[in-house]
Amino acid sequence: MAWWDKDNLQDKLPFLHTRGFAKTAIGKWFEDQEFTEVETSQLQISPGNETHLRGFETQWQSPTHRNHQLYLATSPEFSHKKLIAGGMERIYEFARVFRNGEIGPLHSPEFTMLEWYRAWENWNKIVEDTLEICVVAARAVGADYFSWKGKSVSIYATPIRISLAQAFRKYANIDLLSTLDSGGNGQRAKLADAAIRANINVAVDDNWSDIFTKILVAKIEPNLGFDAPTILCEYPLPEAALARKCEHDPRVVERFELYICGVEIANGFGELTDAIEQRARFEAAMHEMKRIYGYNYPLDEELLSALAQMPGTSGVALGFDRLVMLISGARSINDVLWTPFPVEQI
């Protein structure tokens, strides 16, 4: 039976109405906080420069019939940072974004990302925003609990904050920081030995980040967000992405993720504004992407130029569809999408 069949659509309407109420309430919250709503382009020079982030390719045909490679945005992040460099201070967007190779109960190749930035603000303020917005959305629809797969967490539960080092020690009995050298570089042999002792399968060609991810997925994430919304923070430098180093320990960075009922909801940073360091990170990630997948993506030179003019800023990307799922009792992401990805026609 087609998703647009009358009975099917009627079954989905409660979830879709929840989506609308939550979006309106969140928009009001941003208005009260004096944010400006922006709308950024979905066509980009680069879809992003993280090793395992895959984009959708397209082409622009110029008036002279020359083809130019473009990509659908995987995030509005690059555009937002250019706006911050141009003088915007508080911005947000309900952005339509696209990620290739991802589909399942929590993944759709096309989805809505709620992303916002605060110039001149510490990353802890963005952490507070993220937790508050989840509660705002729940209250807007009269939900007292976040729920997923039979597990529930009170929206009034005091949030938990735990660093990656603490989580690896608690759930995997691994001293994560001991596997980094003084410069924050991952020492593969040390992490591999620790992973094997924790009964994690390590392949010969796994690098430090591969092993880190295996431990995270197998030992850490299954324990997060079941007693209360949980902030997992202070990621090791090899997993920094676009986050700046922590002042108290340059081996870790100002990056956090929010988990509720075991579901990752948001990923935020104290943003790196050092264009030279960001370029080096991008180039290393694209070298690794080329090794693994046989291709990589161009760098967005406008972004790197903008970083040099960008003030200290913090930002976060929140999976809006996932949040709606948690406050509506939805069974999968398709329940909260007005028009789902057409996988059945492919």
Q: Give the Cα separation of 234 and 246 in Å (integer).
A: 8
SS3 of residue 221 by DSSP: helix
Closest CA to 129 of 28, 249, 234, 33: 33
Q: Which of the four pLDDT bands, split at 50, 70 and 90, describes residue 196?
A: very high
Give Cβ neighbours of residue 65 (< 8 Å, ≥ 6 apart).
Answer: none
DSSP designation for 104: B
Q: How confident is the model over 178-193, as a mean pLDDT? A: 96
Q: Give the Cα separation of 323 and 326 in Å (integer).
A: 5
Give the pLDDT of residue 165. Answer: 98
Q: Which of the four pLDDT bands, split at 50, 70 and 90, describes residue 140?
A: very high
Residue 65: pLDDT over 80: no
- Sole residue written with tokens 């040390």: 190
- Sole residue written with tokens 């030992």: 219
Give the pLDDT of residue 197. Answer: 96
What tens digit of pLDDT does each residue of 226-246 get? Answer: 999 999 999 999 999 999 999
* C-alpha dihedral sign at 8, 104, 222, 246: negative
Q: Which residue has the higher pLDDT, 327 or 342?
A: 327
What tens digit of pLDDT does each residue of 89-116 get? Answer: 999 999 999 999 889 999 999 999 999 9
Task: Record the tokens describing residue 261, joined without a space.
Answer: 């009922």
User: In the chain, what percentage of residues exceed pLDDT 90?
Assistant: 93
Closest CA to 303 of 17, 54, 7, 83: 83
Q: Give the Cα separation of 65 and 169 in Å (integer).
A: 58
Q: Give the Cα separation of 131 and 145 in Å (integer).
A: 14
Give the pLDDT of residue 155. Answer: 97
The pTM score is 0.95
Q: Give the Cα separation of 230 and 108 in Å (integer).
A: 24
Q: Phi, psi at residue 148, to the nearest 5°?
A: -160, 125
Residue 221: pLDDT over 80: yes
Closest CA to 314 of 257, 269, 260: 269
Asked if 321 and 117 count as a contact pair (C-beta separation under 8 A), the reply is no
Count of helix runs (H) and strand runs (E) in the chain: 9, 13
What tens digit of pLDDT does each residue of 304-316 get? Answer: 999 999 999 999 9
Q: How confident is the model over 67-89, as a mean pLDDT? A: 96
Give the pLDDT of residue 124. Answer: 97
Task: Record the tokens describing residue 47, joined without a space.
Answer: 């879809």
Q: Give the Cα separation of 332 and 330 in Å (integer).
A: 6
Helix (H), strand (E) at residue 69: strand 67-72
